[in-house]
Amino acid sequence: MLAQFLIHPPIQLGPIGPELVLTGTAIVVLLGAAFNPRIGHSTLLLVSLLGLAGAALVSIGLWDWGGELTVLAGMVATDRFAVVARLILLGIAAMGLVYGYHYFRRSGEARAEFYPLVLFATAGMTLIAAAADLILVFLALEILSLSLYVLTGISARLSSVEGSMKYFLLGAFSSAFFLYGVAMAYGATGSTRLSAIAHALAGQTGSLGLALAAVAFLGIGFGFKVAAVPFHMWTPDVYQGAPTPVTAFMAAGTKVAAFAALIRVLETSFQPLTLDWTPLVWTIAAVTVVAGSLIAIAQTDIKRMLAYSSIAHAGFVLIALTAAGQDGISAALFYLLAYALMVLGAFGVVMLVSARGEGRTSLASYAGLYRRSRLLAGLLTLFLLSLAGIPPTAGFIAKVNVFRAAVAAGHWPLVLVGVLASVVAAFFYIRVMVLMYMQEPQDDAEPDRSPWPRVAVAVPAVLTLLFGVFPGIVLGVLDKAAILRW
């Protein structure tokens, strides 16, 4: 009798090794800072980075996982898609930590909890990329969201707190929709496991109406996270209000994680309903690229402009999703990688131009930047070119791949919209370049000249160029990762 209770499914912790390492490091850092308040932040940074590196090593070890497709009672997927998504996210987190260390030290707001919060958020992000059960998706989503709410408000500035509050309110709103979607999926198919839902829908044993409602609700929840129109309203306020390193981390990380989960949910569970959800994604993609590109024109603050730009980029990834299958997933993964690089780089430059805190984020501060710092102006130019999708940058290859996949799937009108929107978008990216190179500086504020942060910002620049000129070096890996196993 008792033995019956003691029989439990085999527990394989290997596939959640990266998350275990991350949370473990986070707890160590948190406790260390709590028990020794005078501990140097460089130590905290170092330990955190080591944790990220450890998690990355464990992730790489999972590349050739020969065991079951899902572990922990079907909760966690072990495919290469999860490995690649994790690696991208860990890289983003490392950049975010380095930025934050430097930023808060200069702004005098250094807080030890920054490090564990980023690590927890990262753990949520990487877990969501591997989640094979809607419940786990929701849990991971909450882990990362709660950490990000706090991170947004970590500065005492009013706009930071305001952004945090808005993010939290609307985030809670969207979480409710998401949870409702999980319930609907359960109602339709009797399971929350992605593979079980897929089998039920493929065998047409579930309720189609409930299943469609589930897709809609889950889509709304994800739409909020990736900042798709019309669920994007929080983005400019939060991106502007949050301290710039948090913005960089959030803009890159949340988008990658949420898209990874969205891809997995749409391409596994609801794959039998592809014909039903594709028009929905199609429409949202079109509206998102157009609205994001359009409203960005009217912005006068670079962080807000980049926020709208990130909305538009979410639209481009959605375009890739309309092209179902390996081609679309591979294109989306490369786009996310390229996007993460350029958004990290762009916000990095924004942080350095602002020098201390958030005082100088208006576009006017960029007038004549070339005179002040050729390096920063050059780096920002590169990231803007990549954001605009101009060769030889990764952003160009990313757009080409997305458009190619969409055209191959027959969605050329959507590609047409995307191309036209990127023409509009080119305007506001190039306007910043005009400001930097062709106008006189309006004040004599000096940008941050610390050497190490510059090196950090140069890393995404080098990769943006590298993947722009030799995309083959990652495309092969991404193609292998673009097969979801469940």
Cβ proximity to another protein: between 47 and 213 the closer is 213
Nearer to another protein, 104 or 282 (CB): 282
C-beta of 298: minimal distance to another protein in Å? 4
> With contact defined as beta carbons under 8 Å apart, do 81 and 130 qualify?
no
Q: Where are the beta strands (DSSP E) in 324-426?
A: none
Q: How far is the CB of 177 from another protein (least distance, A)?
A: 7
- Nearest residue to 188 (alpha-carbon basis) of 66, 270, 80: 270
Spatial distance between the Cα atoms of 53 and 61, rounded to a whole number of angstroms: 12
CA distance 308 to 335: 17
Nearer to another protein, 212 or 445 (CB): 212
Distances from the Cα of 260 to the Cαs of 115, 404, 410, in angstroms? 24, 20, 23
- Could you tell me the smallest distance in angstroms from the CB atom of residue 124 to another protein? 22
Of residues 172 and 462, the one with the C-beta less far from another protein: 172
Angle, vertex CA 435, rays to CA 432 and CA 437, nearest 5 = 110
Integer Cα distance of 12 and 76 in angstroms: 10
Virtual torsion, Cα 63, 64, 69, 70, nearest 10 deg: -50
CB of 294 to another protein, least distance (A): 5
Q: Which of 119, 114, 117 is nearest to 18 (CA)?
A: 119
Kindly state the smallest distance separating residue 142's Cβ from another protein, in Å.
18
Say what the alpha-carbon torsion angle 91, 41, 247, 132 is, to the nearest 10 degrees: 50
Residue 288 CB, shortest distance to another protein, in Å, is: 11
Q: Are strands 70-71 and 76-77 parallel, antiparallel or unpaired?
A: antiparallel
* Contacting positions for another protein (CB under 8 A): 165-166, 169-170, 173-174, 177, 208-209, 212-213, 216, 219-220, 223-224, 229-231, 233-234, 236-237, 276, 279-280, 283, 291, 294-299, 424, 427
> By C-beta, is 52 or 229 nearer to another protein?
229
CB 428 to another protein: min, Å: 9
Closest CB to another protein among residues 59, 322: 322
Record the tokens describing residue 47, joined without a space. Answer: 């330990």
Q: How far is the CB of 236 from another protein (least distance, A)?
A: 6
Nearer to another protein, 219 or 453 (CB): 219
* Nearer residue to another protein within complex by CB, 50 or 297: 297
Of residues 209, 210, 208, the one with CA closest to residue 182 = 210
Q: How far is the CB of 424 from another protein (least distance, A)?
A: 6
DSSP structural state of residue 470: -
Q: State whether residue 191 is helix, strand or coil.
A: coil
* Continuous H helices in 62-203: 80-107, 114-130, 134-152, 158-189, 194-202
Could you check whether the bond before residue 116 is cis, i.e. omega within 30 degrees of 0?
no
Nearer to another protein, 34 or 297 (CB): 297
- Cα dist from 49 to 23, 33, 319, 345, 377, whole Å: 13, 16, 34, 19, 28
Shortest Cβ 212–another protein spacing (Å): 5
Q: Rank residues 128 and 296 by Cβ distance to another protein and give the closer one.
A: 296
Smallest gap from residue 265 Cβ to another protein (A): 16
> 290 in the Ramachandran plot: left (φ > 0), alpha (ψ -120 to 50) or beta?
alpha
Please say which residue, 213 or 251, places its beta carbon nearer to another protein.
Answer: 213
CA pair distance 287, 280, nearest whole angstrom: 11
Nearer to another protein, 209 or 410 (CB): 209
Phi/psi of residue 131, nearest 5 degrees: -65, 130
The DSSP H or E segment spanning 343 is helix 326-354
Distance (Å, whole) CA 130 – CA 233 = 28
Q: What is the nearest approach in angstroms of another protein to the Cβ of residue 166? A: 5
Name the residue among 433, 452, 167, 140 with its Cα closest to residue 307: 167
